[in-house]
């Protein structure tokens, strides 16, 4: 009788142990399954957020092209944006778009809030039909672009006079107020003081695409700020006679 009781107890112990193992295995499986579902939902949530963000960053534009230089396009209707074309049009370059009515889509990014990277461009022909002339297939790359933060780093050259070269020779970049004179290949900036009097001239060697683009955008204004890369000082004998102070490349322009 005692032997049968012992066997019975041992049997129940084995059954209880097996039951506990099965319960533990089921709990582990349940936790893994719940975790997998939660991760999947989280991934789907992130994907949906990314899709919404992408859609919100796409901006449609339509208007007449006023300025087109290099990869930069300006249309007054796209207020606050400089449109950037990365790549080639199906025929010609962006200058062929000046004066034409265009429409399309561009992509906005918080890192460059004033830039709209163009995804597509359509041009309206003489019959009023729209024709696609550009579809972007490259990442946006703009090496000469200067945003407001970058322009703030340009010191103002104040109280300039042609006979004090130390005012500019210890600087690499600067901002000057004046007006553009001359013609292509022979441009000069007439630098003006607070009273509008000329204090000297700067010989323009080159414009970046972004620089000439902004100069053309400001064509309705006679005087504005020039952001320049300072180069060689003009020889004293020439400087004394012509008041030409130094050579420079124009990187940008603006009303402030």
pLDDT digits (tens, 9 = 90+) for 6-52: 334 444 454 455 555 545 555 544 444 444 444 444 444 434 444 44
- Domain match, 160 and 109 both: no
Number of other residues whose CB lies within 10 A of the CB of residue 240: 12
Q: Is the pLDDT of residue 245 over 80?
A: yes
Of the residues 111, 135, 159, the one at which a domain ends:
135
Q: Are 15 and 21 in contact (CB under 8 A)?
A: no
- Domain match, 171 and 226 both: yes
In a domain, 162, yes or no: yes
pLDDT digits (tens, 9 = 90+) for 44-78: 443 444 444 444 589 999 999 999 999 999 999 99
* C-alpha span between 66 and 218 (Å, rounded): 11
Q: Is the pLDDT of residue 136 over 70?
A: yes
- Domain match, 250 and 165 both: yes
| Predicted pLDDT of residue 56 | 54
pLDDT digits (tens, 9 = 90+) for 168-217: 998 999 999 999 999 888 999 999 999 999 999 999 999 999 999 999 99
- Domain match, 209 and 113 both: no
In a domain, 216, yes or no: yes
In a domain, 7, yes or no: no
Calculate ∠ Cα 175-176-182, nearest 5°: 125
Q: Which domain holds residue 43?
A: 19-49
- Domain match, 209 and 116 both: no
| Predicted pLDDT of residue 198 | 96
| Predicted pLDDT of residue 41 | 43
* C-alpha span between 110 and 35 (Å, rounded): 34
- Domain match, 82 and 41 both: no
Of the residues 92, 114, 135, the one at which a domain ends:
135
- Domain match, 246 and 175 both: yes
Q: Are 87 and 56 in contact (CB under 8 A)?
A: no
DSSP type of residue 206:
E
- Domain match, 68 and 107 both: yes
Of the residues 135, 161, 189, the one at which a domain ends:
135
**What is the four-CA torsion angle of 144, 205, 190, 173, rounded to 10 degrees?**
50
Q: Is the pLDDT of residue 134 over 80?
A: yes
Q: Which H or E element spans position 144?
A: none
Backbone angles phi, psi at 214, to 5 degrees: -75, -35
Q: For residue 198, list its beta bridge partners.
A: 192
In a domain, 13, yes or no: no
Which residue matches tokens 């102070």?
A: 245
How many domains does the chain divide into?
Answer: 3
Structure tokens at 135: 């579809």
Q: For residue 61, list its beta bridge partners.
A: 104
Q: Is the pLDDT of residue 163 over 70?
A: yes
Pick from 224, 226, 219: nearest CA to 203: 226
* CATH code for position 166: 2.40.50
- Domain match, 172 and 206 both: yes
In a domain, 247, yes or no: yes
pLDDT digits (tens, 9 = 90+) for 87-105: 999 988 999 999 999 999 9
* C-alpha span between 4 and 22 (Å, rounded): 27
Pick from 52, 81, 53, 83: nearest CA to 70: 83
* C-alpha span between 47 and 84 (Å, rounded): 28
- Domain match, 108 and 124 both: yes
Query: pTM score, two decimals?
Result: 0.77
C-alpha 129, offset from chain centre: 31
- Domain match, 126 and 160 both: no
- Domain match, 230 and 214 both: yes
């Amino acid at each position: 009788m005692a032997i049968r009781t012992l066997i019975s107890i041992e049997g129940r112990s084995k059954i209880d142990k097996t039951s506990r193992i099965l319960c533990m295995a089921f709990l582990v499986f349940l936790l893994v399954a719940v975790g997998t579902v939660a991760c999947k939902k989280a991934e789907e949530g992130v994907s949906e957020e990314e899709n919404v963000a992408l859609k919100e960053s796409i901006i449609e534009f339509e208007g007449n092209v006023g300025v087109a230089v290099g990869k930069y396009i300006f249309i007054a209707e796209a207020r606050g944006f400089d449109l950037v074309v990365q790549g080639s049009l199906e025929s010609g370059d962006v200058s062929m778009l000046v004066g034409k009515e265009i429409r399309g889509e561009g992509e906005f990014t918080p890192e460059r809030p004033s830039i709209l990277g163009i995804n597509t461009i359509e041009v309206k022909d003489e019959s009023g039909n729209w024709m696609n002339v550009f579809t972007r297939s490259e990442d946006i790359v703009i090496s000469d672009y200067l945003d407001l933060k970058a322009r703030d780093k340009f010191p103002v050259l104040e109280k300039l006079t042609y006979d004090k070269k130390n005012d500019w020779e210890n600087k690499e970049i600067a901002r000057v107020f004046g007006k553009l004179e001359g013609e292509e290949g022979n441009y000069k900036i007439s630098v003006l003081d607070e009273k509008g009097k000329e204090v000297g001239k700067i010989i323009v060697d080159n414009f970046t695409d972004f620089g000439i683009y902004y100069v053309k955008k400001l064509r309705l204004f006679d005087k504005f700020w020039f952001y320049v890369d300072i180069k060689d000082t003009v020889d004293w004998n020439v400087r004394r006679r012509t008041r030409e102070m130094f050579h420079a490349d124009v990187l940008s322009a603006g009303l402030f």
